[in-house]
Structure 1
Amino acid sequence: MCGIVGVIGGTTLAAPRLLDALRRLEYRGYDSAGIATLVDGKIDRRRAEGKLDRLAGVLQTNPLPGMTGIGHTRWATHGGPTERNAHPHATARVAAVHNGIIENFAELRAELEAAGQVFQSDTDTETVVQLLDLLLAQGMAPEAAAHAALKRLHGAFAMAFLFADHPDLLIVARHGPALAVGHGEGEMYVGNDALALAPLTRRITYLEDGDWAVITPTGVRFMDMAGREVRRQEKPTHVSGALTGKGNHRHFMEKELHEHPAVLGDTLRQYLEPSSRSVALPELPFDAAAIPSLTISACGSAFLAGQVGKYWIEQYARVPVEADVASEWRYRDPPLPKGGAAILVSQSGETADTLAALKLLKERGQTTLSVVNVPESSMARLADAALLTVAGPEIGVASTKAFTAQLMVLACLALGMGRARGTIDDATAATLTAALLEVPEHAAEILERDQEIQALAVEVAKARDVLFLGRGALFPIAMEGALKLKEISYIHAEGYAAGEMKHGPIALIDQAVPVIALAPSGPLFEKTVSNLQEAAARGGRIMAFTDAIGAPVLRGFAEHVVELPVVDAFAAPILHAIPVQLLAYHVAVLKGTDVDQPRNLAKSVTVE
């Protein structure tokens, strides 16, 4: 969601550094942007609707001096994506940027308007600015005013405040969305994450939930909401600015698609014992041999990875698994077994619904394990333990390499749990581990089929509706293919279990609806072929991803067949995710959409 940056101290103008930091947060998704600095004791700001290039143009025409400032990229919630609603919001006394939602803003706004405060926007954030302004006008010092205002807010927020006549002061706060303070020499920084601050510092302190902090050019004091000073650990970060360029690729998504082989290899090596070439998990926070059941909760593509994990863990570890989207699971109030455990999956580790589910699971006595890509994230720190993917920064809003890395971690977890429970023998474990070891090489082979997938994309780009079909652990991959196509090409698509097609979706079949099948050879191949022949008999345009064994059968009636490597069924979901992501990418390019930052979407959804 929204991006927040700040800088205080030093001898370099703040605005250029803030703009650069905001560019590093573009992956979060946004529709307007702005910067405010202190100039001769007064707050000055520049804002623009749309992309950062428009803000850069405003700054070039009308430069913004000052060494202390805050910046923001806004993803609209309350109020449209206009310059009027863009952050920072400001009065003559204070300016603020905000990521999140203030749930009691309407009540506060009515109170403040009755007190004479004049609002200039439609946002919930301006309520906080006007509340601070009123408290300052009543004689409160900035620190006391900030503390008093924060205690009145309900909702989720990360915030940064800039005060007129106080060039050596920034105040920040966190209740939900992540926020970090960066440490420099005679200057300090603020950002949502280490990626935003990578060119400025490698020394980071994350605010804990409920913290607020007073920052000066030489240091920072952390407080809790009771006003007590607390200690927070400064940590080094290894995030590098060099990791975020596009290289020779047209889009970040294209670059990240081509990083699949390396990411899969790097992630697998974390969970592999080199001498025996067997999976060796770190110590888990629960006894895999004794847990009665598992809950998997996540959102978006991470949820689909969790669904594949459900298939694997139930099949190989013989543990009952409930998988549900975090936003639904939280409100169903399902019964949880004593001694149960839960897996929370998230690329960013900051997804609001998943983070809330994690907290609720812990409150209800479940042991928690997070699968995350950001080791400093809230979920990595809050869970009882974390299994890290090694995907590196993922800038494209539509998840690609992070998704397959999540699958690799969950596959290793299923194997490790199966061995701990004695539900797979040595020979089976060796076979399945060998299948995972082959995945990075096979991923590279799939990328070599790019021209074939582009040819398929030409046909799919003409469609208004598309069906993706898969069986078993490939059913969630069919949903992933549909999700990717919807996200970045804006074509309506649905993923179905192939056996369910005749229970309704077959009514949609005609010559205008491509049916994209994930149909590798294996135990479910013949049943999938039968489902596809039913669609073909009704005029459906069958387009299949299969392997050398399945290809001759499917070519008998399919319009397009893309032949992938022959792999063990265990590894098939990881590898079939790659071509459906590539297909979505090429369709989006053909349709001319904004591939990396599709409309209405944000990379890290930090509000409910």
Structure 2
Amino acid sequence: MCGIVGYIGKNEIKEILLNGLKELEYRGYDSAGIAVLQDRELSTFKAVGKIINLENKLKDFSTQGFGIGIGHTRWATHGKPTEANAHPHIAEFSNVVHNGIIENYQEIKEMLQAKGHHFLSQTDTEVIVHLFEENLKNCDDSFKAFKKTIDTIKGAYAILLISKKDSTKIFYAKNGSPLIIARGEGGIYFASSDAPLIGLAQEVVYLEDGDIGFMQEGDFDKLQNIQPLNINKSFAQKDGYRYFMEKEIYEQHSVLLETMMGRVSEDRIALENLDRDFFEGIESITICACGTSYHSAMVGKYLLERFAKIRVNVVIASEFRYADFVIKENELFITISQSGETADTLEALKLVKKHHLKTLAICNVDNSSIVRESDRVILTRVGIEKGVASTKAFASQVLVLWMLGVFIAQEKKLINAQEIKEQAQAMLKATKATKVDSKLHERIKRLSKRYLHGHGFFFIGRDVFFPLALEGALKLKEISYLHAEGYASGEMKHGPIALADSHLFTIALMPEHLLFEKIKSNIEELSARDATICVISSQECEVADDMIFIPKASSYMEEFFSMMVALQILALEIAIKLGNDVDMPRNLAKSVTVE
């Protein structure tokens, strides 16, 4: 999604802004730009495509001494990805960058045009800077003009604005989109996530919705809730892997151990901030999420109902918000989001809070908006995930939901000490099952060249392997741009099998410990229609055209995590063979902070 950086200080502004934008590349973008204000001169540079294109435009530009600057990576919402639509947007003497959506931009734009303002872009953002300058005509105070501007606009936003009228200040405002102010030895920094701040800043302030103000040299100590920035830079490096996605697949076994640490022991599951009282009176659970997180929620439904014996409803956040949903008093509302800033999920959370439901967030980013809005949180602890196509975040979400199901069962005394021990051991084995076997990877790499053409893929599975099939199909779609669909295996004969022919690829998930024979019969139905069958299993399947063997396991969840890794690697290798940018697939963004 769109990313923001800003800087106040005496260091080379161009380099700080460019380096910050590069740290935000993992979020996905289609254009980038910076604006620098120094000695009352405002310089703006924008480019479509990768940041290298912006760097080329800036090769003859440099700064010396004090100045301020703002930068942005844009993912198109209003207006196509063109240089005119790229941020920063400029009026006569001011410049702005913005994440989010201004809902009433059209009426503001028409009002400003009637007053003689000329617009260069198709974006909603451009109205902010023109409205600011219009307000300045009737006000000598730049901050009052900025505040009046923010009071007029409606929607979600993180905004940085600079102006020649007040050339030492960066004005900021936040509502529904993340924004951070930080201090380091080199000056004051702004960013829409922690990533650009690592190595530069020591102290940060995570702004809250409704925060508005300005920063200049010496102002940082006036802020509230200053805290240290403690994030390891190594998460932002590829460590020798071809892509961040590949690195993140390989590090799953270690980060999942981190997810379990202090929480899973042989005699009990302990989840910080959660106790029996929190679940007192809860009769049902609704899990709300989008994309990959929605698939983990579907897995969670099986596990929570199986262990905790509680009815679970799984909803897509964007659908939930606009449906005539029925909320029950004794309902727990769980949101799942990697970034904690997913707009649809965040707004759904705010909606149910008005109905006074208990809320629990499963999230990877502490201090994110969803975390702050929720009553309780379980952090997934997997560190920065730079690949747009999620891998370790999905794995950790499933593991947390598994832990949560056993935890509730434990607190409700639905399982005994021996069963808790068995589940703890199964979790540890499942985590170890995500360690990539180099021979398996090489086998999939060789096999992938056979799956580059055809008219599409079916991914099929039953029980928890149905949402895993959905996730496997999504991974392939996201990075290979090949058509793929996930199905519950038993649904084949209810319509999808009409597509089966020799040009259809089927990836079948066949766990030894869960409904093996049932899935086998579904595969035979497809094989009889000449579909090409690739089976992922620890057991030989005679009707398969190709086999991807996973290690023998002692539980279906151990098989689940083994198959998950195989699906991730299969998608990775197919996409690489097709020549695609695996980490930044077209049209996609890491953190979807608009509807």
Task: Write the mapping of 1:326-475 to structure 2, written as runs, cut at 5 A.
Answer: 326-446=317-437, 448-475=439-466
Task: Give distance in 1, aligned partners of 2:7 and 2:521.
Answer: 62
Matched, 1:272 2:264: yes
Matched, 1:481 2:475: no
| 1:209 counterpart residue number | 209
Residue deviations 1:100-137, cap 9 Å, x none? 11111111111100000111111111111111111123
Residue deviations 1:537-569, cap 9 Å, x none? 11111101111xx22xx1x11011111123312
Task: Write the mapping of 1:209-288 to structure 2, written as runs, cut at 5 A.
Answer: 209-220=209-220, 232-273=224-265, 276=266, 278-284=268-274, 287-288=278-279
Matched, 1:579 2:578: no
Task: Write the mapping of 1:553-572 to structure 2, written as runs, cut at 5 A.
Answer: 554=541, 556-567=542-553, 568-572=555-559
3-state SS, counterpart of residue 298 of structure 2: helix
Contact 2:288–2:294 (Cα < 8 Å) also in 1: yes
Residue deviations 1:431-454, cap 9 Å, x none? 221111112322115554101111
Percentage of matched positions with identical amino acids = 40
State the 1:277 CA deviation: 5.6
State the 1:43 CA deviation: 1.3
Task: Give distance in 1, aligned partners of 2:278 and 2:371.
Answer: 19
| 2:34 counterpart residue number | 35
Task: Give distance in 1, aligned partners of 2:42 and 2:486.
Answer: 51
Task: Give distance in 1, aligned partners of 2:336 and 2:431.
Answer: 22
Task: Give distance in 2, aligned partners of 1:256 and 1:405.
Answer: 12
Residue deviations 1:476-525, cap 9 Å, x none? 00000000111000000000000011101100111111100111112311
> What amino acid does structure 1 have at the position aligned with 2:26?
Y
Residue deviations 1:187-221, cap 9 Å, x none? 21110011121121031101111211211111248
Contact 1:157–1:177 (Cα < 8 Å) also in 2: yes
Task: Write the mapping of 1:102-251 to structure 2, written as runs, cut at 5 A.
Answer: 102-185=102-185, 187-220=187-220, 232-251=224-243
Residue deviations 1:239-278, cap 9 Å, x none? 23332111111111111111111111111114223xx464
| 1:519 counterpart residue number | 510
State the 1:91 CA deviation: 2.2
| 1:602 counterpart residue number | 589
Count of paired positions? 592
State the 1:175 CA deviation: 1.1
> What amino acid does structure 2 have at the position aligned with 1:433?
A
> What amino acid does structure 2 have at the position aligned with 1:572?
E
CA 1:447–1:386: 2 relative to 1, 3 Å: farther
3-state SS, counterpart of residue 324 of structure 1: strand
| 2:309 counterpart residue number | 318
Task: Give distance in 2, aligned partners of 1:575 and 1:361.
Answer: 36
Contact 1:157–1:176 (Cα < 8 Å) also in 2: yes
CA RMSD of aligned residues (A): 1.6
> What amino acid does structure 1 have at the position aligned with 2:381?
V
Unmatched 5+ residue regions in structure 2?
A: none
Contact 2:96–2:160 (Cα < 8 Å) also in 1: yes
| 1:81 counterpart residue number | 81
Task: Give distance in 2, aligned partners of 1:417 and 1:6.
Answer: 44
Selected match of 1:531 from 522, 526, 544? 522
State the 1:408 CA deviation: 1.0
Unmatched 5+ residue regions in structure 1?
A: 223-230
3-state SS, counterpart of residue 404 of structure 2: helix
| 2:92 counterpart residue number | 92
State the 1:64 CA deviation: 5.8
Task: Give distance in 2, aligned partners of 1:208 and 1:165.
Answer: 27
Selected match of 1:593 from 568, 580, 583? 580
Contact 2:179–2:191 (Cα < 8 Å) also in 1: yes
Contact 2:436–2:565 (Cα < 8 Å) also in 1: no
Contact 1:446–1:565 (Cα < 8 Å) also in 2: no
Task: Give distance in 2, aligned partners of 1:418 and 1:236.
Answer: 37
